[in-house]
Amino acid sequence: MLKEFRPALFMLLLMTLLTGGLYPALITGLAQTLFPHQAHGSLMHHQGTIVGSNLIGQPFSDAGYFWSRPSATTPMPYHAGSSSGSNTGPTHPDWETTIKNRITLLKESNPQQKLPIPIDLVTTSASGLDPHISPAAAQWQIPRVARARGLSEQTLGDLVARHTAGRTFGILGEPRVNTLALNQALDQDGTQP
Amino acid sequence: MTANGIFQIVLYLSVLLFLAWPLGVTMARIYAKELPIGLRWTSPVERGLYRLCGVKADEEMSWIRYALAVLTFNLLGILAVYLLQRIQIGLPFNPQSQANISPDLSFNTAISFASNTNWQSYGGETTLSYLTQMVGLTVQNFVSAATGMAVLVALMRAFTRKEIQTIGNFWVDMTRSTLYILLPLSLILALLLAQQGVVQTFSPYQSAKLLQPVTYEEPVNGPDCQPLKDANGQTITKKQTATEQVIALGPVASQVAIKQLGTNGGGFFNVNSAHPLENPTPLSNLMEMLAILLIPAALCFTFGRFVGDDRQGMAILAAMVIVFTAFLTLCVQAEQSGNPLFNKLGLDVIASNQSPGGNMEGKEVRFGIVNSAIWATATTAASNGSVNAMHDSFTPLGGLVPMVLMQLGEIIFGGVGSGLYGMILFAMLGVFISGLMIGRTPEYLGKKIEAFEIKMASLAILIPFLAVLLGTAVAVVTEAGRAGIANPGVHGFSEILYAFSSTGNNNGSAFAGLSANTPFYNILLGVAMLLARYWVIIPVLAIAGSLAAKKTIPSSAGTLPTHTPLFVAILVGVIIIIGALTFLPALALGPIVEHLHMIHGHS
């Protein structure tokens, strides 16, 4: 073992220099030069303040906004400094009550909507930071937002359609709507809730 | 399964195999000391490394010396990562002033990364400094993967040798794996991921102004920093309003690339590749999923080249693909079928172009059901262990798939290097069992498989099994073990079984509800990881030493060919029978019972 001690020690030091120093430094330099927006977290700025990241969801509860999915981060929802899923198992004894409460909240805020609620609106995401809801979940919320903002459902339907991203190359992943981008667009139209 | 789902699966496997072939052939050339043109300019770096380290590149090692080199190098790696965590507050690149880490957690994390397990008892963005992530974890991501590849190369080389006492030089095999395979691939992948939106910066975390301020209930902590409870045992909370959102950042892309390519799996953030800054788009998701299985699949082709018969590698790859596809189908079906509770409550769970449907708890909308299930299957078939969805929230059968794939011994693709050397042990067992049936001395690739090889193979296969089952048993009968359970009842047992299946096979994924950051779990799981890694490596190297010293015998009419569909079937059969005999009773107590509970509406 002693015979291999010197190579082991020096190899560890040099590999640390190479893969723990040079490699991340090189990637940082290249990424920040080639893709500065992405490398810094895809942050959005408005009048000098950071107003969020394109990739990170925010919580919404006003009737005039499209709501994001429930979030399991603590203590605040969508805490992007401490990502977390709920880790609730499929037969957890409190599970039914949790889902029922979410259903009640959604239905009471949107009494005109008679369609069944899409599953993603009552389940938490893996990260607690999911920026997206499904197109069905956005459409489901249109009557509530329309009433709160005094807009027609047609106008909102068009807006949702404009903010719907399809599968990548028509194949990969799932169709989705970025709630933060959608709500920012709503506010920019000048019809405050 | 939806048509799009089938299409995504076929696309994934096709691209994987399409990329694996050229890489496998290239790796065979690299290990034969023949560099591809694009890499030749780096060979002075390789020679310089050897000179500085006092390594004589052409000096061959006996298997015992090879094993000592592996162990010394890994031991120093464990010490380095341990120390870094213990003193990180005093070191640079710690913009969030992350505190020093407790001895038991540091012990667990150090073993976890050196053993290529990458089990995470901690949450990255709330625990580790940028320096610890880079200089501690990223380095081990490279060298633990390179260690696995080196051990495999020693074993493959042994098949090609005749009556020679040595099996190669560990330092050379490890260095070439890092320098010519892992680093170049990581550079490419890291930049592709950064383009897609994976963050790469040394800046501190940023605060963003929320579009709508959020009100939430925050637990009130007592003087002992524990949440206060009222007379009914309910946590006391107070209303808080936040107008800002803290966004964790860091040098993520560089670490995620090697995390995937080296079948490491330890995420930069707590939720791993479910985090939008670690895996932002369906395209980044595809790249990361390909990276999970790329090197393990390619090494099968390397194996074929090494032993001079491409069909040998393809037979092993075929066995892997068959088992993988079967389990993947089960996982997608189970998650798409969802939970009967959702139907009972009148929710919309039908998959369509407007909604992913199925069991979306613990899954991201951009990945939906299909990509979450492919990932869960791939990450546990390989000993990767990264996640893009929370396995704890999978349906019982959906969660059974990753659990079983780990329990089989991480050989369906498996870890880089470690997966294939594990699979070769099963192939030896396959020829041994067939040999018993036809009454001939078994041979594999021209080498007689005798008592010593079978003893060592049995040790390497049985010790991880023992770590899983004994560890689970200890945890479920002790107070400290049961205290970690998040989901009461049967699912709680599954959480514990999953934790030991994961660490006892160096995978690293988790049913993450289990509170594993306690001295009890940190130490017990740490020991499981040590056993599973080094008590496979040592017997494998012993086999390599023994095979290299043997004569090579030409194949005859009595030799069982090991490249035929028949042998693929024998291999799959041996793997499934040994795995099922060992784990069915435990699985019956966990996911299988839970499945029956769920479909009958019990909780």
Instruction: List pLDDT tens digits, range B340-389.
Output: 999 999 999 999 999 999 999 999 999 999 999 999 999 999 999 999 99
Chain pair A-B, CB pairs under 8 angstroms: 420
Give the torsion sign (CA, B510, B513, B518, B521). Answer: negative
Whether the pLDDT of residue A115 is over 80: the answer is yes
pLDDT at A29: 97
Instruction: Kindly state whether B470 is in contact with chain A, defined as any CB-CB distance less than 8 angstroms.
Output: no
Show the domain range for A28: 5-38
Spatial contact of B420 and B296, defined as CB atoms under 8 Å apart: yes
- Structure tokens that stand for A101 in this block: 């409460």
Q: Are residues A91 and A172 in the same domain?
A: yes
The pLDDT > 90 percentage for chain B reads 87
| Contact criterion met (CB < 8 Å) for A87 and B487 | yes
Q: Are residues A61 and A14 in the same domain?
A: no
Name the band, by pLDDT with cuts 50, 70 and 90, for residue A190: low
Per residue in A54-66, pLDDT (tens digit) is: 999 999 999 999 9
Q: Are residues A34 and A64 in the same domain?
A: no
Q: Would you tell me which residues 28-67 of chain A have a C-beta closer than 8 angstroms to some C-beta of chain B?
A: 28, 30-32, 34-35, 38-44, 49-62, 65
Spatial contact of B414 and B420, defined as CB atoms under 8 Å apart: yes
Spatial contact of B263 and B382, defined as CB atoms under 8 Å apart: yes
Which residues of chain A make contact with B362, given a CB cutoff of 8 A? 85-88, 123-126
The pLDDT > 70 percentage for chain B reads 100
Residue A88 maps to a domain:
yes
Whether the pLDDT of residue B601 is over 90: the answer is no
pLDDT at B96: 87
Whether the pLDDT of residue B33 is over 90: the answer is no
Average pLDDT for chain B:
94
Kind of pairing, strands A132-133 and A164-165?
unpaired
Question: In Å, how far is A181's CA from the nearest CA of chain B?
Answer: 10
Q: Would you tell me which residues 380-439 of chain B have a C-beta closer than 8 angstroms to some C-beta of chain A?
A: 387-390, 392-396
pTM above 0.90, yes or no: yes
Beta-bridge partners for B221: B227
Q: For residue B477, with 0-12 CB atoms within 10 Å meaning exposed, 13-18 middle and 19 or more buried, which class applies?
A: exposed
Q: Would you tell me which residues 146-185 of chain A have a C-beta closer than 8 angstroms to some C-beta of chain B?
A: 167-168, 171-176, 180, 183-184
Instruction: Kindly state whether B491 is in contact with chain A, defined as any CB-CB distance less than 8 angstroms.
Output: yes
Residue A193 maps to a domain:
no
Q: Are residues A81 and A124 in the same domain?
A: yes
Instruction: Kindly state whether B218 is in contact with chain A, defined as any CB-CB distance less than 8 angstroms.
Output: yes
Whether the pLDDT of residue B602 is over 70: the answer is no
The pLDDT > 90 percentage for chain A reads 93
Q: Nearest Cα to B273, choosing from A171, B556, B282, B423?
A: B282
Give the torsion sign (CA, B327, B10, B374, B381). Answer: positive
Whether the pLDDT of residue B572 is over 50: the answer is yes
pLDDT at B68: 96
CA torsion B93-B96-B97-B101 (nearest 10°) is -90
| Contact criterion met (CB < 8 Å) for A1 and B270 | no
Residue from the list A1, A12, A28 with its beta carbon closest to the beta carbon of B80:
A12
pLDDT at A193: 47
Counting the structural domains of chain A, the total is 2
Which residues of chain A make contact with B248, given a CB cutoff of 8 A? 80-83
- Structure tokens that stand for A85 in this block: 């899923």
Residue A173 maps to a domain:
yes
Beta-bridge partners for A43: A53
Which residues of chain A make contact with B171, given a CB cutoff of 8 A? 7, 11
Q: Would you tell me which residues 60-89 of chain B have a C-beta closer than 8 angstroms to some C-beta of chain A?
A: 65, 68-69, 71-73, 75-77, 80
Stretch B74-81: mean pLDDT, rounded?
96
Q: Are residues A9 and A91 in the same domain?
A: no
Give the torsion sign (CA, B1, B4, B7, B8). Answer: negative
Instruction: Kindly state whether B159 is in contact with chain A, defined as any CB-CB distance less than 8 angstroms.
Output: no
pLDDT at A146: 95
pLDDT at A143: 97
Q: Are residues A29 and A47 in the same domain?
A: no
Q: Are residues A17 and A95 in the same domain?
A: no
Residue A86 maps to a domain:
yes
| Contact criterion met (CB < 8 Å) for B393 and A21 | no
Whether the pLDDT of residue B219 is over 80: the answer is yes
Spatial contact of B66 and B211, defined as CB atoms under 8 Å apart: no
Which residues of chain B make contact with A8, given a CB cutoff of 8 A? 69, 72-73, 75-76
Please give the residue of chain A at the shortest CA–CA distance from B513: A87
- CB count in 10 Å sphere of residue A63: 15
pLDDT at B100: 94
Whether the pLDDT of residue B603 is over 60: the answer is no
Q: Are residues A83 and A17 in the same domain?
A: no
Spatial contact of B529 and B112, defined as CB atoms under 8 Å apart: yes
Q: Are residues A27 and A61 in the same domain?
A: no
| Contact criterion met (CB < 8 Å) for A76 and B362 | no
Q: Are residues A109 and A58 in the same domain?
A: yes
Question: In Å, how far is A12's CA from the nearest CA of chain B?
Answer: 7
Spatial contact of A27 and B89, defined as CB atoms under 8 Å apart: no
pLDDT at B218: 86
Question: Of A108-112, A168-172, A186-190, B153-157, which range is least confident?
Answer: A186-190
Residue A181 maps to a domain:
yes
Instruction: Kindly state whether A5 is in contact with chain B, defined as any CB-CB distance less than 8 angstroms.
Output: yes
Residue A49 maps to a domain:
yes
Instruction: Kindly state whether B152 is in contact with chain A, defined as any CB-CB distance less than 8 angstroms.
Output: no
Q: Are residues A163 and A78 in the same domain?
A: yes
Three-state secondary structure call for residue B75? helix
| Contact criterion met (CB < 8 Å) for B603 and A35 | no
Residue A79 maps to a domain:
yes
Question: In Å, how far is B131's CA from the nearest CA of chain A?
Answer: 9
The Cα-based distances of B590 to A6, B203, B266, B497 in angstroms read 48, 44, 26, 8
Instruction: Kindly state whether A9 is in contact with chain B, defined as any CB-CB distance less than 8 angstroms.
Output: yes
Whether the pLDDT of residue B92 is over 80: the answer is yes
pLDDT at B558: 79
Q: Are residues A136 and A183 in the same domain?
A: yes
Residue A101 maps to a domain:
yes
